[in-house]
A and B are shown apart, each in its own frame.
Chain A
Amino acid sequence: MLRIALKSALAHKRRLITTGIAIVIGVTFMTGTLILSDTLGTAIDSLVSDAYDEYDAVIRSKEVQTLPFGGEIRATVPAEIEAAVSAVPEVKAAAGNVEGFAFVIGKDGEVLGSTGLGPPSLAFNWIDVPELQVGTLSEGRPPENDDEVVLDFRTAEKGGFRIGDTVTIESPNTGTYEFELVGLTGLGEAGDETTGSTISVYTLPTVWRVVGQPNKFQYISAVGTGGASQEEVVEAITPVLPPDLEAITGAAYVKEQQELFGQFVGLITTFILVFGIIAVFVGAFIIYNSFSIIIAQRTREMGLLRAVGAGRGQILGSVVIEAVLVGLAAGIVGLVSGIGIAFALKSLMGSFFTLPPGPPTITPDSVLVAILVGLLVTVVSALIPARRAAKITPIAAITEVEVDSSSLSRGRKVFGTALVVTGGLSLYLGLSDTLGNPLTAVGIGAACFFIAFAVLGPVIAAPMSRVLGKPLPALAGVSGRLARENAARNPKRTAATAAALTIGVALISVIAVMAASFKADIVDSTTNQMTADYVVSSGGSFFGFNPAISEEIAGLDSVGIASPLRYTGAQITTGIGMEVPEGDTDQPLSEQSGEPTAVDAPLEFLQGIDPETYFEVVDAGELVGDPGSLTDGKFALAEARAEEEGLEIGDKVEFYFVEGGRVELELALTYSEPLDPTTVYYLPLSSFEKYASPQFRNDFALLVTSAGGSTRAETKADVEEVVAVSPMAEVKDPADWGEEQAAMLNGLLGVIYLLLLLAVGVALIGIVNTLTLSIFERTRELGLLRAVGMSRAQLRTAVRWESVIMAVIGTLIGLVIGIGLALAITTALSLQDFLSGPSLPVVQLVVVSILAGLAGVAASIWPAGRAARLNVLDAIAME
């Protein structure tokens, strides 16, 4: 039986190859990603450990908050501690480390490096102690004066800076500076490796000034005396530290940093991996379909085998063997091309940051995953057709048995309907906000609908084909009618083929609607709520600009109101206990010792406003309470959230700021229209000085109105003059600014769409495959039509329209599911105040639909050609 299966598979090589392509693509992605992440991980791990390998101990604050996408903020360490640490006998030397943000401006006035998603632009102080130096000087000398800077070699290269040149630096907190470039630095022994971050190094007093955190360090590093182990050094240091600081070993620190970096890499690779999985999933549909058709075609042969004595199990086994062959081959080919892609991506990434030379890291894991995935998915998908093959009766060898069992069982309809009802209920519950976490309910509802579609697909495929195909007879005569009937006659097959496309289209629709909703929110708030004439911002950066600029603008005659906006993060800790290490009581966190703190509360974003001017330039709806009372120690909250939390004016809430500690603030004002639905807590700017971490001490935006006697143009000119001092800051109309904010999503969207189009491409391969195979299956009928006088062109037309119908069905259902799902999700999010509501990008969706129709046409070209080339006599003589 094995031999039969093998020979059979070989005989139909070509057919099986096209069947396996989808799996190959999916496996390629998955493998490429896995290999890449292994490679990147190894590279980064070694870069990081190189950088910090001589640390024996790290002293830092225990207060930490984690940011949503990985990364953390920690409270700063007072400078005095350094001396105390150095004094410890086991410590050979200690040094304070400043790590702030500063951008290097290129000679053309544009920022070098990323201002948003991407490797950060960091400012450090130069450390004299050789063991504690993180980088290596590759050229020049360290900074010695206030006006000197050392840059990383990559940035210098990009900016065309040479030793002796003047470099412009912009700090979000403190403004623009000019420094003389005195040296180049980098990681690794020769200082020629980089993680892609932009690095600038200054003397300690300079960096404190630039970054705006005088007398504070992010952490203190220490190297121990000869004989002491790292644990011993840490033990020796700990007693001299105040309770809110801790000491960890160098090794632990290295590990932590590696993990932090790893998280970031992991994010990217997970992203790409998801698409690999989608491709594989789509591939599963194609395999199922293809094998179904192949089996239908070989009905006679299998009947013969049964007549001659093959058991059902043997038939099943032979199909499974064929599936194994395809899966194995697909896995191997996918593995090889995945390696190829990893190579390509590696050299691409190598231009951004340093990777070790040589081939990408290929672990046994990746190889195994590739082959297993290819194998498993193929075999599992082929199981149902295999079972069908086993049911073929011997009589099929002799008579033309119509294997086309297009009867749809009641069970299917009942089950499908039940799923729809369950899904609907779940969605309703989620959306009516009766549950704590609506997203879970929505998620379950969505899953139910997806499965329901898979189950009910065949039930609706036939009626849909007929409806969609109504105009065809008029358009294309007999060809049209045949196309319509062919799509309708085997609903299971039509549904399975369309399903592959549905998945891709549904996903695209979801993303499109969600992106449009988010963007709409941004644009809406900036155009409708802001009454300011202009907005000063830092041009699309995640960071703000120097507050001194805002002050200067406020002082201009032609300026009426200048209202700054800032952001920071904090956790609401009212009634929430901290993780209390053993032995300690309910003392305030800052007085506890032991493990670092972790607060189990979500991070909230707080908007900093100037209460006296903010409400004049932003329409925040109905105000309850007095803006004037919003002084330090008070906060404002959106009405809706206040109701949810059961808060009233005068109530006190405890906030936990990493830098400022736990603070009780009083609710002084509520308003009904938040500018940004995700940021509902407002704090007066004066509080920022006290509580916010250094990186938040800048103005994110300044809302400016014209003074009574000046024209808008005059005001703008004056403001621009002030702003000119900062290379990054710019002046915009509120609407333009809104667009700019919204556009930050575009880069991300572009990548997502590209990858989803891949999934759609794979689905189209599926349609081509299905059509081609079904043409073989219908050879006799096609021969008859040709004998009776159908021309080749008419035959091609029929095939073409059949393909279009399937593509349109897949797209329509995909749109319905996608849009429905997106509406559900956006509504759920709006209940949690992340979004104000759904928004439909009609144009984009229409474009998708049209493209799908065209794709259907494209997919039919090859099969139609095959059909037309059939030899009439062979076809009808087929016994």
Chain B
Amino acid sequence: MSTSIDVSTVTSEGHDGARQLAAARTHRAVKVYGSAETAVRALDGIDVVFDRAMFTAIMGPSGSGKSTLMHCLAGLDDLTSGEVWLGETQLGRLSEKQLTRTRREKLGFVFQAFNLVPSLTALENITLPLDLASRRPDKTWLDHVIETVGLGQRLAHRPCELSGGQQQRVAVARALASRPEVIFADEPTGNLDTSSGAEVLDLLRLAVREYGRTVVMVTHDPVAASYSERVVFLADGKIVDDMAGPTPERVIDRMKSVGEV
């Protein structure tokens, strides 16, 4: 069953019903790669709003544009046309320097792979955004984060000495340490086994529930999606569904029908 939703409003109803500024949103976002024969319309006019302090998942089959959407939301890539807003800031209007500052201070990233700088230790990777900004980390907060992700014993290790799951946890710790407004996660459990994956997802959910962060996660895994509070479904560069309170079964069912488009 697909439902069409009007998502062109600037604000949205949060948990408690109060109107609040969206953490991130797009307006008529279009992204085209390549040119002429090899042109690919990755985003085909997307309007979507992501609420604050919510854990939202973006799903869709391969080639649906979900990763592209996230990249543009996070300012990693520019739109061909349309707008992207992070809070009250329109990303397209920022200078390179401002964009860099935004990344340092307001955003956190967890990628599917290659999250860490190979020559730095786990601890140095965690404090990386802060070091780049020449900000001193809040020791209490940092210790808390490290304890939460359970990496106390591994701080001096380099990425090559950590398992995949541990590396992802370091990445999450990094994303938490600088206390950003929005954390973008791109298939964070894609390379992990079930139990490590569950750990990472727990952490992300914790970030939302206990620390009030906003998490936007791209995934193709129904189980991972079930950790979120809302799933936005994409196919061929357009939004085709928006589900609140997802469970693995509901997601799978929905995916079945989306896959047949």
Contact = CB atoms under 8 A, between A and B. Distances in A.
Q: Do chains A and B touch in the complex (CB under 8 A)?
A: yes
A2 to B, nearest CB: 10
A10 B119 CA distance: 8
A310 B120 CA distance: 15
A793 interface: no
Contact of B105 (A11, A307, A309, A312): A309
Nearest to B180: A309
B119 A7 contact: yes
A603 to B, nearest CB: 64
Interface stretch (B21-29, B85-93, B106-114, B241-249): B106-114
B71 A308 contact: no
Contacts of A10: 119
A310 B99 CA distance: 10
A397 interface: yes
Interface string A383-406: 000000000011101100000000
B100 interface: yes
B96 A308 contact: no
B129 A4 contact: no
A307 B114 contact: no
Interface string B41-79: 000000000000000000000000001000100111100
Contacts of B124: 3, 7
B117 A301 contact: yes
A398 B74 CA distance: 13
A304 B117 contact: yes
B133 interface: yes
A312 B103 contact: no
B76 A309 contact: no
A459 B58 CA distance: 46
B132 interface: yes
B34 to A, nearest CB: 12
A306 interface: yes
Contacts of B74: 307
A395 B68 CA distance: 10
Interface string B115-143: 11111100010001101110000000000
A399 to B, nearest CB: 9
Contacts of B116: 304
A646 to B, nearest CB: 69
B77 A395 contact: yes
B132 A309 contact: yes
B100 A304 contact: no
Contact of A308 (B104, B113, B186): B104
Contacts of B71: 395, 398
Interface residues of A, number: 25
Given A1-B132, A309-B132, A312-B96, A8 B103 contact: no
A307 B131 contact: no
A460 B76 CA distance: 36
B232 to A, nearest CB: 20
B109 A308 contact: yes
Contacts of A394: 75-76, 103
B205 interface: no
Name which of A3, A309, A393 has the most chain B CB atoms within 10 A of its CB.
A309
A403 to B, nearest CB: 16
Name which of A11, A311, A312, A879 has the most chain B CB atoms within 10 A of its CB.
A311
Nearest to B128: A308
A394 B100 CA distance: 10
A466 interface: no
A716 interface: no
Interface residues of B, number: 32
Contact of A1 (B97, B105, B131, B186): B131
Contacts of A4: 117, 119-120, 128, 131
Contacts of B238: none
B174 interface: yes
B101 interface: yes
A308 B76 contact: no
Given A309-B129, A398-B71, A301 B118 contact: yes
B100 A308 contact: no
A395 B132 CA distance: 18
B133 to A, nearest CB: 7
Nearest to A300: B114
B114 A308 contact: no
Interface string A282-326: 000000000000000000110011111111101000000000000
Interface in A1-54: 1, 3-4, 7-8, 10-11
Contacts of A305: 117, 128, 132
A10 B118 CA distance: 12
A102 B96 CA distance: 79
Nearest to B108: A308
B101 A309 contact: yes
Contacts of B100: 306, 309-312
A132 B67 CA distance: 95
Name which of A300, A306, A398 has the most chain B CB atoms within 10 A of its CB.
A398
B63 to A, nearest CB: 14
Given A3-B124, A300-B114, A395-B71, A306 B103 contact: yes
A314 B118 CA distance: 18
Contact of A304 (B97, B101, B115): B115
Contact of A309 (B67, B113, B133): B133
B193 to A, nearest CB: 17
Contact of B186 (A7, A301, A306, A398): A398
Contact of A398 (B76, B101, B119, B132): B76
Given A311-B100, A314-B132, A879 B113 contact: yes
Contacts of A307: 74, 76, 103, 109
Nearest to B114: A300
Interface string A715-748: 0000000000000000000000000000000000
A514 B102 CA distance: 63
A307 B110 CA distance: 10
Contacts of B104: 308-310
Contact of B119 (A11, A306, A397): A11
Contacts of A3: 120, 124, 131
Interface in B170-222: 174, 186
A458 B103 CA distance: 37
A877 to B, nearest CB: 11
A309 B103 contact: yes
A397 B111 contact: yes
Contacts of B186: 398
Nearest to B178: A309
A308 B120 contact: no
A7 B103 contact: no
B117 A398 contact: no
Contacts of B132: 1, 305, 308-311, 314
Interface string A328-364: 0000000000000000000000000000000000000
Contacts of B119: 4, 7-8, 10-11
B97 A308 contact: no
B77 A308 contact: no
Nearest to B102: A309
Interface in A33-78: none
A547 to B, nearest CB: 80
Given A394-B103, A398-B111, A308 B118 contact: no
A455 B216 CA distance: 48
A687 to B, nearest CB: 81
Name which of A1, A7, A300 has the most chain B CB atoms within 10 A of its CB.
A7
Nearest to A396: B76
Closest 8 CB pairs of A and B: A309-B104, A11-B119, A7-B119, A309-B103, A311-B100, A394-B76, A309-B129, A395-B76
Given A4-B117, A7-B124, A308-B174, 12 more contacts: A1-B131, A1-B132, A301-B118, A306-B100, A307-B76, A308-B129, A309-B132, A314-B132, A395-B71, A398-B111, A879-B113, A879-B114
16 contacts: A1-B132, A11-B118, A300-B114, A301-B117, A304-B115, A304-B116, A304-B117, A308-B103, A309-B100, A312-B96, A395-B76, A395-B77, A398-B67, A398-B71, A398-B186, A879-B113
